[in-house]
A and B are shown apart, each in its own frame.
Chain A
C-alpha cells in the first residue's frame, strides 16, 4: 500500500449534500459521508436502497447530479480530465467479478499497471504474483477465469484491484453471486485486507463480516443514510425503526 500523502485524520473521501437521479426517480438524496484513511465501512440495507449506487458514484461509474464528491483531494465532476487517474487509485470489486475472460489470471492482474500506470512488465508481473499469493491462488496464474471457481475468481478480482496500489477499495456485494461454500474464502481475504490497514467501503449483507471488521456500519433505505454507527451499537442498539426491522429480517437466519 502506498503511504498516505496527507494527514490521516483528513478524509480521503468526502461526500457533501449529494443527490442522484435516474430520470425523475431520486436514487440518492442528500448524502453526506466522510471516510478517513484506514476506515472500514460496511453499507447495508434492503435492495433498491441505493447502496450500490452510492459506491459506484465514488469512482464515477455513475454520475451524481448535485452536491460534491471529493476523492483524495480531487472533486469528481463532468468535465474532469483525470478521471482515469482517480479511478486507478480507487480499487473496485464487483458482484459479478468482471474479470477479463480472454486474459489469463496473471494478465488480468498486470493489465492495469502495465497499460495505465506504464509499469514495466517485469515489475507488474512481480506485483501481480505478490497479490495472487496474498489471496492464496498463485498457482492459478496461467489459467483463464472460466477455469476457476466463483470464489477463486472473486479473489483474483481483489488481487487485480490491489495491483493498482489503490488508496481505497470499494466492494459492491462481493459475495452475493457466490455459492455458499465459497463465501468464506472471499470474506477471509477481505478480513486479511482490512487487517493490513486498507481503507475499505463494502456493500454487503454479511453481517458477521460487518461485526468483525467494520469501524462503522451504515444503514441505507430509499436513497438515504438512515443510520450510521460503530458496529457494536449498530447491532445491539439500533436507533431507527427501519434499522430494527431490517436487522430482525437479516439476523434471524
Chain B
C-alpha cells in the first residue's frame, strides 16, 4: 500500500474524530463497569468506596479511562518515527496482557518447575512433528498440483478427490480416523507417525491448491519458450516453472506452516507428548491448569513470532531477487 503524503489528512488531527473516539470508548467502558478495577481504587478520594459509588463511580472511572486512552492515542501519534510508534504500542499491549495474566494469581514456582520440560519435550515434539509434516505436505502438494493441472482424467480425479476429502473433514477427525482406522486394516500405527500422516495429508491438500495457483500464475510464454527449446515436461517444471513460482508460494506456505504449528496441538488427543498435551496434563494433579495453559500459549506465540520473522526474511530475499 502506498501512503498519502499529506499529514493533515490524519484522522487524529480532526477534533470531531477524537471526540467520537472518546465517546465510543467511554460508552464501552461504562457498559463494562470499571469501578471495581484498579482505576476505581485509584479514584477512591473522589468517588469514595468504589463498591458503593454506584452510577457516579461508574461514570467517573469510565471517563477517566477513556481520557487516558485518548491522550495515549494522541501522544503516540506525535511520535515521528514509524518504528518507535510500533514499538511503543507493542510495549503497551504486552504490559496490558501481562497484567491480565498476572491478575490470575498464577503460581510462578509451578511454572518454573515445569517450563524446562515443556520446552525440551513439548516444543521439541511440536516442532519436529510440524517440520516433518510440512516437508511431506510440500511433496504431496507438488504432485497434487501437477495432477490437478494435467489433462489426464485419472490423475485429475484422484487429486481432486484427495483435496476435496482432506479439506472437507475436520483435522481432528482425520487424526482419529488414521490413528484408530489403520489398526482396523491390520496396521498398528504409533501416535507420532499417525499424527504426522494426518497433518501431512491435510496440509498437503491445502498446499496443493497453493502450488496449483503458483504454477498457474506463471505466464504461458514460459511454457512455450521451454517447449520451443525442446525441454520435456519434467525439465520445464523443475528448472523453469517451479523456480519462478517459489516466491509466490512462500508467503502462503509460511502461513500454512504457522497454522500447522498450532494445529499440531490436535495430535495431543492421541497422546503425542507435544506442547498442548503437556499443557493439559502437567497441571492436572495440582489443579494448576491455568499456569500450564498460559505458559503453553506464550510458548506457541513465541514460536510463531520466530517463524513470522523467518518468513519475512525469506520473502525479502526473494523480493530483492525479483526486482533486480
- A residues in contact (CB < 8 Å) with B: 59, 61, 84-85, 87-88, 90-92, 94, 96-102, 111-112, 115-116, 144, 146-147, 160-161, 164
B243 contacts across to A, CB distance below 8 A: 102
B32 beta carbon closer than 8 Å to chain A: no
Q: Would A98 and B244 be within 8 Å (CB), given that A88-B230, A116-B231 are in contact?
A: no
Task: Tell me the smallest distance from the CB of B104 to a CB of chain A, in Å.
Answer: 52
Most buried by B among A87, A91, A97: A87
Task: Tell me the smallest distance from the CB of B216 to a CB of chain A, in Å.
Answer: 17
Most buried by A among B221, B229, B321, B324: B229
B224→A94 contact, CB < 8 A: yes
CA distance A90 to B164 in the complex (A): 43
A94→B221 contact, CB < 8 A: yes
B230→A100 contact, CB < 8 A: no
Interface residues of B in 204-240 (CB under 8 A from A): 219, 221-222, 224-232, 235, 239-240
CA distance A100 to B240 in the complex (A): 7
A101→B244 contact, CB < 8 A: yes
B221→A88 contact, CB < 8 A: no
Task: Tell me the smallest distance from the CB of A22 to a CB of chain B, in Å.
Answer: 15
Interface of B (DSSP majority class) = helix
26 A-B residue pairs with Cβ-Cβ distance under 8 Å, sorted by A, are A59-B227, A61-B224, A61-B228, A84-B230, A88-B229, A94-B224, A94-B225, A94-B228, A98-B225, A98-B228, A99-B225, A100-B244, A101-B244, A101-B322, A102-B244, A111-B239, A112-B230, A112-B231, A115-B231, A115-B235, A116-B229, A116-B230, A116-B231, A146-B324, A161-B229, A164-B230
Task: Tell me the smallest distance from the CB of A160 to a CB of chain B, in Å.
Answer: 7
CA distance A245 to B30 in the complex (A): 82
B239 contacts across to A, CB distance below 8 A: 111, 115
A101 contacts across to B, CB distance below 8 A: 244, 322
A98→B224 contact, CB < 8 A: yes
Contact with A along B116-132 (1 / 0, CB 8 A): 00000000000000000
Closest A residue to B238 by beta carbon equals A115
B225 contacts across to A, CB distance below 8 A: 94, 98-100
A84 contacts across to B, CB distance below 8 A: 230-232
B229 partner, pick from A97, A147, A164, beta carbons under 8 A = A164
A144→B324 contact, CB < 8 A: yes
Contact with A along B82-97 (1 / 0, CB 8 A): 0000000000000000
B229→A160 contact, CB < 8 A: yes
Interface residues of B in 231-278 (CB under 8 A from A): 231-232, 235, 239-240, 243-244
CA distance A88 to B232 in the complex (A): 11
A98 contacts across to B, CB distance below 8 A: 219, 221-222, 224-225, 228
Task: Tell me the smallest distance from the CB of B230 to a CB of chain A, in Å.
Answer: 3
Give the total of B residues in contact with A, Cβ under 8 Å. Answer: 20
CA distance A111 to B227 in the complex (A): 12
B229 contacts across to A, CB distance below 8 A: 87-88, 111-112, 116, 160-161, 164
Most buried by A among B226, B228, B244, B321: B228
CA distance A90 to B228 in the complex (A): 8
B221→A85 contact, CB < 8 A: no
Task: Tell me the smallest distance from the CB of A251 to a CB of chain B, in Å.
Answer: 31
CA distance A84 to B239 in the complex (A): 16
CA distance A144 to B322 in the complex (A): 10
B228 partner, pick from A92, A102, A146, A147, beta carbons under 8 A = A92
**A-B contact sample (13 more), CB < 8 A, given A102-B244, A116-B231, A146-B324:** A59-B227, A61-B224, A61-B228, A84-B231, A94-B225, A98-B224, A102-B321, A112-B229, A112-B231, A116-B230, A146-B322, A161-B228, A161-B229
CA distance A124 to B148 in the complex (A): 36
CA distance A90 to B219 in the complex (A): 22
Task: Tell me the smallest distance from the CB of A240 to a CB of chain B, in Å.
Answer: 32
B322 contacts across to A, CB distance below 8 A: 101, 146
A99 contacts across to B, CB distance below 8 A: 225
CA distance A102 to B240 in the complex (A): 8
B222 contacts across to A, CB distance below 8 A: 98, 100
B228→A59 contact, CB < 8 A: yes
A96 contacts across to B, CB distance below 8 A: 221
Contact with A along B305-324 (1 / 0, CB 8 A): 00000000000000001101
Task: Tell me the smallest distance from the CB of A186 to a CB of chain B, in Å.
Answer: 17
B227 partner, pick from A87, A100, A144, A146, beta carbons under 8 A = A87
Q: Would A87 and B244 be within 8 Å (CB), given that A100-B225, A147-B324 are in contact?
A: no
Most buried by A among B231, B243, B322: B231
B324 contacts across to A, CB distance below 8 A: 144, 146-147
CA distance A72 to B246 in the complex (A): 39
CA distance A59 to B227 in the complex (A): 9
B221→A87 contact, CB < 8 A: no
Task: Tell me the smallest distance from the CB of B221 to a CB of chain A, in Å.
Answer: 4
A160 contacts across to B, CB distance below 8 A: 229
